[in-house]
Amino acid sequence: MQIIFVELINSDTMIHEKEMADQDVAGAASLDSAEDYRARVAHYKRHYEPIASGGPDDPEHEFSYIKCIENGKQIIMNKIKGYMPGRVAQFITNCCHCHWTTKKKLFLTRHGQSEYNAMGRIGGDPDLTEMGERYALALKDFAESAICRDLETGKELPARLWTSSLKRTRRTARHIANPTIIRDGYPWIQMKPRIWSNLDEIYAGACDGMTYREIEEQFAKEAIARKKDKLTYRYPRGESYLDVIQRLEPLIQEIERHREPLIIVGHQGVLRMIKAYYKGIPREEAPHQTLKLNHVTELIPHAYGCDEKLYNLLPDETPGDDGQTKH
């Protein structure tokens, strides 16, 4: 087992003040709390020992380490070799330049009800039903009022929109407006759709377009195998959830790089894995997470976990059993 030391060095006092406000003393506005935080920081400084700070002859140069200085302005790597250390280094170099004082907000939603949802079928590339179209219009209003705008100040915020390459996600997102706003003196196309095939639903292979009952009747052994181990099971000529995790990895790095609010209009299988990543859910449990139709899940990652909010955009409508929620 190889041990890699990771050191983040930042002298920006604004970030330190923001940390004081958002982390240990969140919700406690008293002067005593602020002074306690500063006292603890001062204590840490007295005992803090940076990695390999003793010059070229420092024995700690024999360690594997990554130093990220001033939000990625300088990155120092030492004895980083091999597949996994290389992936760790890639992840850190992608993310360490981010503005940590900005809270990330990630919104996950399934597409509106599709024709296959109504029929209890999986996969395919069907269009939306009438209810799915109503959800698309409700999502437009939600995006413009709750994602593209600061709820406290009413100020317009730059925001991002991602969809899969499948018709039902693109049509669900198509009503969301894309005005050009000014961001830091430059034009920014609001909610410009970005299409990712990596976000496509788990491919069911020979079972694509079938109901789960049909699968149990025609592929009985496959149905049993999937129930035993949903994570590693791979559909005949199709994908497993492990395959989905593999193709989502570069997208997770993209998500981590961005600070703007992001909404992903996707599919239950794929969104399960993204949610599990941010919520710290074991991957064995991830395929069993439920994301309902007509709902938006808001995730707010922070230093000690990930907060979650759920919004029902069509409270007066019930999509019924789409054949997928429990599978």
Which residues contribute to the annotated binding site?
110-117, 168
List binding-site positions for substrate.
Answer: 110-117, 168
Burial of 319 (0-12, 13-18, 19+ CB in 10 A): buried
Burial of 260 (0-12, 13-18, 19+ CB in 10 A): middle
Q: Helix 13-22 vs helix 31-47: angle between axes, to the nearest 10 degrees?
A: 120
Distance CA 313, CA 140 (A): 10
Q: Do 229 and 241 contact (CB within 8 A), yes or no?
A: no
Residues taking part in catalysis: 111, 201
3-state secondary structure of 67: strand
3-state secondary structure of 137: helix
In the chain, DSSP finds a helix count (H) and a strand count (E) of 10, 11
Contacts 24+ apart (CB under 8 A), 250-257: 250/198, 251/196, 251/198, 251/199, 252/277, 253/90, 253/91, 253/94, 253/95, 255/106, 256/91, 256/94, 256/95, 256/98, 257/94, 257/95, 257/97, 257/98
